[in-house]
Amino acid sequence: MSDALNGQRSVDTDAIALGARADLRLLVVECDDSLRDGCVAVLRGNGYTVTGSSRGDEALRLLQKRKYDIVLVNLFMSGVSGMKILEAARDAHADSLVILMTGNPSVETNIRALEAGAWEYLAMPFTAEQLQLVVGRAAHRVLEGRGAPVVATGAAAVAPDDGMTSLIGISPAFCRAVELARKVAKTNASVMISGESGTGKEGIAQLIHKQSRRAGKRFVAINCAALPAQLLESEMFGHKKGSFTGADRDKPGLLEVAHNGSLFLDELTEMPLALQAKLLRVIQDGVVRRVGSEQEDATVDVRFISATNRDPNEAVRTHVLRDDLFYRLRVVPLHLPPLRERPEDIPLLANHFLCQYWRRHRISDGECPSLSVSAIDLLTSLLWPGNVRELQNLMEHLAVLADAGSVIGSDDLPGRSDAAIASAGARAWPPQLMSEAYHPAKEAVLAHFEKEYLATLVVRAERNMSRAARLAGIDRTTLYRLLEKHGVAQGIDMKKNGNEVAYVPPADAPPSRVTQAD
């Protein structure tokens, strides 16, 4: 995503039920990789079903294959013009809404486009907030035309701070995790999410719930590490009046509250073994017995989504997690990669959070500040032990102190220079290599360095392969070979460009790129 594409969700988008958004098909046609991927990431983060296309001829084929409710296209596409794509979209499906993106919005061009059937104009550069506002209005129009419910209610509404703002990224591992979440959401299967603290596990859990058939019911979250055992049992299962000191009335537990909805068990491995056994009975039979009760008090139908920052298999091996509960809850395992393994996502997230917090703390007080190239380079070099949550905290700090329209440099990042040096050392020398023999350890360090260097290089060059080769001081053929060797190229859209030889991922590569046609 380019620096211009940052901001927070618009009111129009938030007002649309997430289930309704997921039913809308959007097509983004843009030859600039950064802008296209940014638009796709923002709109997918809002819950729309989005396809990205980098070429006009590909877009024409897609429009013939299926209907897209909303089409965003750059007016000045190379090869096939945006105007021709506009006409093709309208000819294929008269009720499709086409939004034209252009950096040269002249009055003459505007009139010509509107006469050809364009629904709206989006002048570049634009922020994510402007993008979401325009698309939100278009989504309203499409849904109203269908007579479908538009306004979100109850648990299906998406709040600005619901944790899903962290679900932005274009890295292959992250895209695979999000696509798996969307796929499993349509079922009732139990999902166990693993990943370090701050990687966005609750955001993924909410995504699964809000794109499921249970979206209109409650999403109930409980942190198993935050409560002592007795209180946790009472919160989950409820209690009978007089069952313990202070129990002055019958109280239903969160399992009953989540009936027909989803229960998110955060930090599952912190739950005491005795409670794990009691929970297993609920999963098997759907029967809840409150604390202090001698009878079965309720029958519940709950979808279980659990999360842990430990290795679940190791937790079972060390008897921290019951194996029978593990097999019940881990029907679909889903792992979220740490932020240090997805450096290409850091600029997207950083810009998004920076403008999100700028508008939260400053309302409409001037233009959002931006991050310099040196600041982005420094951010992508860090290890981020706190992951997305740590980056989010730093961006809020910068938003509070920055001036309107200012450019934030690497020197403005508090206490990050020493951390960058330490991070670079940690990246180049994984601790487990100390126990290896010299030659295998040396080869592993070199491979680790090459992969980290290439990932950072691609971000610095804004995914322009010619520029990346120049920055690295190597020829393009060598660069492509290294990218393919380390798997970095699977996240890069390297199309043929003139005489430039492009890397094409193998046919069996996972569909992780946001530019891939669905």
pLDDT at 436: 65
Q: How confident is the model at residue 438 (pLDDT cuts 50, 70, 90)?
A: low
Q: How confident is the model at residue 239 (pLDDT cuts 50, 70, 90)?
A: confident
The conformation of residue 462, written as its DSSP 8-state character, comes to T
Residue with tokens 């289930």: 19
Please check the confidence at residue 279 and state whether its pLDDT lies above 90. Answer: yes
In angstroms, rounded to a whole number, what is the distance separating the alpha carbons of residues 86 and 163? 36
**Domains (ranges, CATH) in the chain?**
11-156 (3.40.50.2300), 172-336 (3.40.50.300), 341-491 (1.10.8.60)
pLDDT at 122: 78
In angstroms, rounded to a whole number, what is the distance separating the alpha carbons of residues 46 and 271? 33
Compute the average pLDDT of residues 153-178. 59
Is 462 in contact with 34 (CB distance < 8 Å)? Answer: yes
Q: What percent of the chain has pLDDT over 90?
A: 25
Is 399 in contact with 367 (CB distance < 8 Å)? Answer: no
Least confident interval from 79-88, 325-334, 342-351, 462-471: 462-471
Residue with tokens 């740590």: 390
Compute the average pLDDT of residues 331-343. 93
Please check the confidence at residue 171 and state whether its pLDDT lies above 50. Answer: yes
Please check the confidence at residue 514 and state whether its pLDDT lies above 50. Answer: no
Compute the average pLDDT of residues 101-125. 69
Please check the confidence at residue 450 and state whether its pLDDT lies above 90. Answer: no
Q: What percent of the chain has pLDDT over 70?
A: 78
Spell out the alpha helix ranges (H) of 31-100: 33-45, 56-65, 82-92
Which among 7-21, 281-295, 432-446 has the top mean pLDDT? 281-295
List CB contacts of 93: < 8 A, sequence separation 6 or more.
Answer: 63, 67, 68
Q: Where in 32-148 does DSSP place strands (E)?
A: 49-53, 70-74, 97-102, 120-123
Q: How confident is the model at residue 491 (pLDDT cuts 50, 70, 90)?
A: very low
Q: How confident is the model at residue 408 (pLDDT cuts 50, 70, 90)?
A: very high
pLDDT at 107: 53
Q: How confident is the model at residue 502 (pLDDT cuts 50, 70, 90)?
A: very low
Q: Higher pLDDT residue, 87 or 248?
A: 87
DSSP per position, 256-269: HHTTTSEEEEETGG
Q: Higher pLDDT residue, 352 or 497?
A: 352
Least confident interval from 9-13, 53-57, 472-476: 9-13
Q: How confident is the model at residue 208 (pLDDT cuts 50, 70, 90)?
A: very high
Helix (H, G, I), strand (E, B) or coil at 303: strand
Q: Higher pLDDT residue, 271 or 138?
A: 271
pLDDT at 435: 58
